[in-house]
Amino acid sequence: MLRIILNNKKAFWALLCLPALFILQPYASGDLIAMDMLHPTGEWSARFMIAAMALSPLLSLLGPRPTLIWLIQRRRALGVAAFAYAVLHLVFYVIDMGNVDDMLAEFFALGIWTGWVAMLLFVPLALTSNDISMRALKAGWKRLQRMVYPVALLVLVHWIFIHNNLVPALVHFIPFLLLVAARFFLPRRPIFKGA
């Protein structure tokens, strides 16, 4: 029974939707306003993005462990979830700002335009996260998806400068950076074909 649930792709999507339910509940009940929703939506978007990026360095550190393989088979879904939470984030930003003039007035703040560019680059990544695009783009698909690294860098800058606060951004990015560093300094494990 557990195996059936674990192998069900829809069950994984449901899992990815779970944080959204908790995030949206206090907004739906009127306890929080749109402004308050930027924090949880942005943070969850960044978390899913970092999780998706952490899988390859983890694979080369740990080798093909079953849990890792299970996650890697669902990496595309993680990326799409990151995008979906970013869309929510943007929706709440627009609701909170309420008009285009105010959005334009702050566009050139370092903490804002980096968010917009990250969002823009995110779109082709999300749009091509499906079997049809993978087949159509062939080797180009991987090259395209590598754009997640500049996106991550933009998100890091966005996160630091939106509040001029290093701490929460680094708390999320340092574990990932440690993994990447470890990948360079520790010997690689052989990776099985197809993993």
Partner 1 sequence: MRFLSSLLLAAVATIAFASVPASATGVIKCDAGPASGWKSQETLTNKLTKEGWTVRKAKVDGGCYEVYGTTPEGDRVEAYFHPVTLEKLYVGRRGEVLFRKKGY
Residues that bind ligand HEM (CB under 6 A): 35, 38-39, 42-43, 45-46, 49, 82, 86, 89-90, 93, 112, 115-116, 118-119, 122, 155, 158-159, 162, 168
Question: Pick from partner 1, ligand HEM, none: which does 152 bind, CB < 5 to 8 A by kind?
Answer: none
* Of 57, 75, 54, 45, nearest in space to 158 by CA: 45
Question: Pick from ligand HEM, partner 1, none: which does 118 bind, CB < 5 to 8 A by kind?
Answer: ligand HEM
Site string for partner 1, 31-60 (x = CB under 8 A): --x-xx---------------------x--
Contacts of 62 (CB under 8 A, 6+ apart): 68, 189
Nearer to partner 1, 118 or 179 (CB): 179
DSSP 3-state assignment of 14?
A: helix
Answer for the pair 51, 68: CB distance below 8 angstroms, yes or no: no
How far is it, in rounded angstroms, from Cα 23 to Cα 37?
7
Q: The tokens of 65 are what?
A: 């462990």
Footprint of partner 1 on this chain (CB under 8 A)?
Answer: 33, 35-36, 58, 61-63, 97, 102, 105-106, 109-112, 161-165, 167-168, 171, 174-175, 178-179, 182, 186-187, 189
